[in-house]
Structure 1
Amino acid sequence: MHPPLFSSSKPMRSAVLAAVVACALLLQGCSAVKLAYNQAPQLAYWQLNNYLGLSETQTERVRTELGDLHQWHRDTMLPRHAELLQKVQQQLPSDITGDQACSIYAEVRVQIDRVIDQIEPRLVWLASQLTEAQIQNLEKKQADSNADWKKEWLDVPPQKLAEQRYKQLLSRAEGFYGTIDAPQKQALRNFVVQSGFDPQRTYAERLRRQKDLVQVLRQVAAQPASQERNRDLLRGYLARFNASPDAAYQRYARQLVEEGCAGFARVHSAMTAAQRAKAVQSVQGYAQDFWVLAGR
Structure 2
Amino acid sequence: MRGDFNMAHSAQPTEVSEFHNCWARRILVILGAAALCACSAMKLGYQQGDRLAYWWIDNYVDVSAAQEPLTREAIARFFAWHRKAQLPAIANLLQEAKADVGQPVTPAKVAHFQDASQELARRSFEQAMPDMADFLLTLTPDQIARMEKKFAEGNAKYRKKFLNADPAEREEARFDKVMEYARLVYGGFSPEQEKAIRVKVGPVVQNAEARYAERVARQQEWIKMVRFVQATQPPKTQVIDLLRRFREYWQNPPARHAASHEAGNSAGIALTVAIANLTTSQQKAHAQDRFQKWIDDTHALMREKANAPVQSAAAN
- Which TM-score bucket, shorter chain as reference? over 0.9
* Correspondence for 1:260 among 249, 254, 268: 268
* Correspondence for 2:21 among 1, 5, 14: 14
Q: Mark the CA change 1:4 to 1:276 in structure 2 (over 3 Å): closer, same or farther.
A: closer
Q: Which amino acid aligns with 1:159?
A: A
Q: Which amino acid aligns with 1:280?
A: Q
Q: Is the CA contact (8 Å cut-off) linking 2:136 and 2:230 kept in structure 1?
A: yes
Worse-superposed segment, 201-210 or 48-57? 201-210
> For residues 46-104 of structure 1, what are the alpha-carbon distances to aligned partners after superposition, in whole Å with 9 as ceiling and x for unaligned?
11111011111211101011111111111111111011000011111111111111111
Are 2:93 and 1:78 aligned?
Answer: no
Q: Which amino acid aligns with 2:22?
A: A
Q: Is the CA contact (8 Å cut-off) linking 1:220 and 1:230 kept in structure 2?
A: yes
Are 2:192 and 1:198 aligned?
Answer: no
Q: Is the CA contact (8 Å cut-off) linking 2:193 and 2:278 kept in structure 1?
A: yes
Q: Is the CA contact (8 Å cut-off) linking 1:127 and 1:217 kept in structure 2?
A: yes
Give the unaligned 5+ runs of structure 1: none
RMSD, matched Cα: 2.1
> For residues 154-176 of structure 1, what are the alpha-carbon distances to aligned partners after superposition, in whole Å with 9 as ceiling and x for unaligned?
23311111122112222221121
Worse-superposed segment, 214-223 or 283-292? 214-223
Q: How do 1:112-261 residues align onto structure 2 when only pairs under 5 Å count?
A: 112-195=121-204, 197-245=206-254, 247-261=255-269
Partner SS state of residue 156, structure 1 = coil
1:6, distance to aligned residue in structure 2 (A): 8.4
Partner SS state of residue 57, structure 1 = coil
Q: Which amino acid aligns with 2:111?
A: C
In 2, Cα distance between equivalents of 1:72 and 1:256: 32
Q: Is the CA contact (8 Å cut-off) linking 2:19 and 2:26 kept in structure 1?
A: no
* Correspondence for 2:301 among 278, 293, 296: 293
Q: Mark the CA change 1:6 to 1:123 in structure 2 (over 3 Å): closer, same or farther.
A: closer
Q: Which amino acid aligns with 1:155?
A: N
In 1, Cα distance between equivalents of 2:9 and 2:195: 15
Q: Is the CA contact (8 Å cut-off) linking 2:54 and 2:71 kept in structure 1?
A: yes
State the match for 2:287 in structure 1: 279
In 2, Cα distance between equivalents of 1:43 and 1:134: 19
Partner SS state of residue 165, structure 2 = coil
1:9, distance to aligned residue in structure 2 (A): 9.4
State the match for 2:51 in structure 1: 42
Q: Is the CA contact (8 Å cut-off) linking 1:69 and 1:118 kept in structure 2?
A: yes
> For residues 184-211 of structure 1, what are the alpha-carbon distances to aligned partners after superposition, in whole Å with 9 as ceiling and x for unaligned?
2123112112436422222222221111
State the match for 2:277 in structure 1: 269
In 2, Cα distance between equivalents of 1:278 and 1:224: 53
Q: Is the CA contact (8 Å cut-off) linking 2:8 and 2:36 kept in structure 1?
A: no
Q: Mark the CA change 1:9 to 1:156 in structure 2 (over 3 Å): closer, same or farther.
A: farther
Q: Is the CA contact (8 Å cut-off) linking 2:201 and 2:271 kept in structure 1?
A: no
In 2, Cα distance between equivalents of 1:161 and 1:44: 30
1:4, distance to aligned residue in structure 2 (A): 4.9
Percent identity reads: 27
In 2, Cα distance between equivalents of 1:210 and 1:174: 31
1:212, distance to aligned residue in structure 2 (A): 1.1
